[in-house]
Copies of this chain bind each other. A is one copy, B any other.
Amino acid sequence: MIVITYLLETSGSVEALAAKIASDQSTGTFVPVPGETEELKNRAAARVLAIRPMDPVPVPSLPQDGLAGPFNRAEADIGFPFDAVGTDLSALMTIAIGGAYSIRGLSGIRVVGMKLPDEFRGVYPGPQFGVPGTRRLTGVHGRPVIGTIIKPALGLRPPEAAVIIKELIASGVDFIKDDEKLMSPAYSPLSERVAAIMPLVLDHEQKTGKKVMYAFGISHIDPDQMMRNHDLVVKAGGNAAVVNINSIGMGAMAFLRRRSRLVLHAHRNGWDILTRHPGLGMDFSVWQQFWRLLGVDQFQINGIGSKYWEPDQSFVRSFKAVTTPLFSPEDCPMPVAGSGQWGGQAPETYARTGRTVDLLYLCGGGIVSHPSGPAAGVVAVQQAWQATVQGIPLQIYAQSHPELRQAIEKFGRDGKGA
């Protein structure tokens, strides 16, 4: 049985609403029809398993013309027989989630839980690389993989980008990525970008033995073109790609993963609108299950003190979600803390995510804009994590570590981001 938990809100009865969802999303229709036998219902009918009432709210999540509150709320568990859905994730999305959003008579609906049965085990490939693959390819062990992003986000031509990237590679950073908005525009076609950047990566590897993981923006609306983009990167010796999962969609992700030889770094832009209203949409804990099964290797989930709307607590929950096995530890992607990060968030990130260093810690301006340049920026982030893991306050550690001291002076004024 597949169990979905909905946060329901209605001016009417939450019990009736839950029953309606179960019916509409399985055997129901709007008038009784012949053929809906008891045997058939047993085969396919969804059932309300539990209802946990919550405090009503005075303001509805969806504006309700002419309806005064309070609006009743409850969490409802609905069980879908496995045979009514099967393991196809597009069927799961259609039956258990998509259709429920269209139902009348509710003032709010949010999918807050999804428990997949053991029939799903092994059906999907999951991450190809995840944490172990990322560590193996970067050669980074015992500390977070430290990454950065090319800025400005848009507009740099490949030769202009290469100047910046050369400096970043030399800085000792482990991972560099295209901004998620950079895919293959006229001023920076992917082929030219790969041609400009990969020789720098390989040259540095030859000289130092360290291969920086560079994730190229390969997303394209046409999966065939996306695969050609993928192949370009592979052929040039690259080992990673940024994939805008929400823009290409689940099917294209399945298509890519099945053929991929790259570490797939997921950016979830667009996702926010599905989760930002607490009474509507979906929890990340649900949504991420789809993408993990499909094979995301590295999952961007913002970070402490991010520059976006997402509160720290939501990042912490997301971190826990992606690091909790669905069926086995191998289905966990590497969490990516990013947005507004510099070393300053290391202590809080570490303390609130289970004291692990198994993450990709992504600093854009936090590295690039270090007063002494990107190399000092990378060192400062490394120092912040050294201090954190050793339990030494950053201010103390900074006394003997000038790069970290400079970073704190520049970025640390508000205690968090720049």
Contacts and interface: CB of A to CB of B under 8 A. Distances in A.
Contact of A90 (B26, B183, B272): B183
Contacts of A418: 30-31
Contacts of A91: 181, 183-185, 219, 221, 247
Interface in A158-210: 160, 163-164, 180-181, 183-187
Contacts of A26: 153-155, 181
Q: Which residue, A185, A222, A226, A249, has most C-beta atoms of chain B within 10 A?
A: A249
A299 to B, nearest CB: 15
Given A30-B417, A152-B28, A365-B29, A246 B43 contact: no
Interface in A217-260: 219-224, 226, 244, 246-255, 258
Contacts of A134: none
A340 to B, nearest CB: 6
Contacts of A184: 86, 88, 91
A94 B270 contact: yes
Interface residues of A, number: 100
Contacts of A248: 90, 249-251
Given A40-B156, A59-B59, A98-B244, A90 B151 contact: no
A397 interface: no
Contact of A258 (B90, B93, B99, B224): B224
A141 interface: no
A16 interface: no
A84 to B, nearest CB: 5
A44 interface: yes
A274 B273 contact: yes
A83 interface: yes
A151 B29 contact: yes
B33 A94 contact: no
A139 B372 CA distance: 74
Contacts of A273: 101, 109, 274, 280-282
22 contacts: A27-B155, A28-B153, A29-B151, A31-B365, A33-B365, A35-B156, A35-B160, A36-B152, A83-B187, A84-B154, A90-B247, A93-B244, A94-B181, A95-B181, A99-B270, A102-B269, A103-B308, A104-B308, A223-B252, A223-B254, A223-B255, A273-B280
Interface of A: 25-36, 40-41, 43-45, 59, 61-63, 83-86, 88-91, 93-95, 97-99, 101-104, 106, 109, 151-156, 160, 163-164, 180-181, 183-187, 219-224, 226, 244, 246-255, 258, 269-274, 276-278, 280-282, 294, 307-310, 340, 364-365, 368-369, 417-418
